[in-house]
Structure 1
Amino acid sequence: MISATELPSTRPYLIRALYDWCSENGFTPYVAVKVDASVQVPREYVQGGEIVLNVSMDATSSLKLGNDFIEFKARFGGKPRDIMVPIQRVMAIYARENGQGMAFPVNDDEVSSTPLTAVQPEPVQSLPEDDPTPTSPSPSRPALKRIK
């Protein structure tokens, strides 16, 4: 029996599923990436340590959505570039037109060659009935920021 720590990450499978959903429904799939030294993208387009990439069939060639990397060729400013993004650096995949998609946690403390482990959901804390003030969300919880 395989233990939970030996299971492969679900992230690449979810990315492929959402890519297919976007493509089949006429949406443009965008991938938000947290950039570090392991990410091969044009650095002049990185803003705040992040980049959003159009990974639609019209914008890319030789697209490979693998279990470890997303790889493709694309033009930036008219110049062809080879793009390679480790799966664990993907923060989100979503449809440009409506923002629907999925966000993923990206741990900057991880070494990029370290395999991903399952992320355990945070326990829900119930509020006392006499306290109407909700607690703020955990600062480590990922949030999807739409960049135009």
Structure 2
Amino acid sequence: MTVSTRPYLIRAIHQWCTDQGQAPYMVVWVDENVQVPMEFVKNNEIVLNVGYGATQGLNMDNDWISFSARFGGVSREIWIPVGNVLSIFSRDSGEGMGFELEKLEKPVAKPVSPVSPVAQAPASDDDAKGAKVITFPGRRS
């Protein structure tokens, strides 16, 4: 069985944004497998700043993306199956990559939380605001 290229491409775009000094953002399809602050979800999508300055304990493995971030001053744990990432892009330049939704056939248990309280600087309240959703060619709205 072949492993999906999606997690590798997500990590590569994230690294590229970081190396360029740009803020990496993700558009995520929200369903029962995703753990995000529901008050920020619109049309089953949420836009998240996934830069190191906006997250704590960011872990992007082949199946899950997890981290904690502040929303309205409250720290929240975020869990995203890699198949629910619809795009990752630079907020600054708009460059990035879009993906088709890959629904999980059955819910998968989340791995043990990698979030460490000393890993990185706290995120700002502005990180969840002001993101532009970029529609990539071939992506259904």
Asked if these proteins are the same fold (TM beyond 0.5), I'd say: yes
Count of residue correspondences: 112
Kept in 2, the 8 Å contact 1:70–1:84? The answer is yes
Bigger CA radius of gyration: 1
| TM-score (norm. length: structure 1) | 0.71
Cα deviation for residue 142 of structure 1 reads: 1.5
CA deviation vs aligned residue, 1:90-136 (integer Å, no higher than 9, x gap): 0000000111000000145x52558xxxxxxxxxxxxxxxxxxxxxx
1:80 is aligned, of 43, 62, 75, to: 75
What is the identity percentage for the equivalent residue pairs of Structure 1 and Structure 2?
46
Aligned to 2:105: 111
Which letter does structure 1 place at the counterpart of 2:52? M
User: How far, CA to CA, are the matches of 1:142 and 1:12 in structure 2?
Assistant: 18
Aligned to 2:35: 40
Cα deviation for residue 62 of structure 1 reads: 0.2
In structure 2, relative to structure 1, the CA distance for the partners of 1:85 and 1:59 (3 Å cut) is: same
| TM-score (norm. length: structure 2) | 0.75
Which letter does structure 1 place at the counterpart of 2:68? K
- The reply to whether residue 63 of structure 1 matches residue 68 of structure 2 is no
> How is 1:1-148 mapped onto 2 (pairs within 5 angstroms)?
6-107=1-102, 110-111=104-105, 113=107, 141-142=138-139
Kept in 2, the 8 Å contact 1:88–1:112? The answer is no
Q: Which stretches in structure 1 are left out of the alignment for 5+ residues?
A: 1-5, 115-140
Extract structure 1 runs of 4+ deviating beyond 6 A: none
CA deviation vs aligned residue, 1:10-31 (integer Å, no higher than 9, x gap): 0000000000000000110001
Kept in 2, the 8 Å contact 1:38–1:112? The answer is no
User: How far, CA to CA, are the matches of 1:106 and 1:13 in structure 2?
Assistant: 16
Which letter does structure 1 place at the counterpart of 2:2? L
In structure 2, relative to structure 1, the CA distance for the partners of 1:79 and 1:61 (3 Å cut) is: same
What SS class does the counterpart of residue 13 from structure 1 fall into?
helix
Root mean square deviation of aligned Cα: 1.6
User: How far, CA to CA, are the matches of 1:105 and 1:41 in structure 2?
Assistant: 20
Which letter does structure 2 place at the counterpart of 1:96? R
What SS class does the counterpart of residue 14 from structure 2 fall into?
helix
Kept in 2, the 8 Å contact 1:86–1:112? The answer is no
Which letter does structure 2 place at the counterpart of 1:31? M
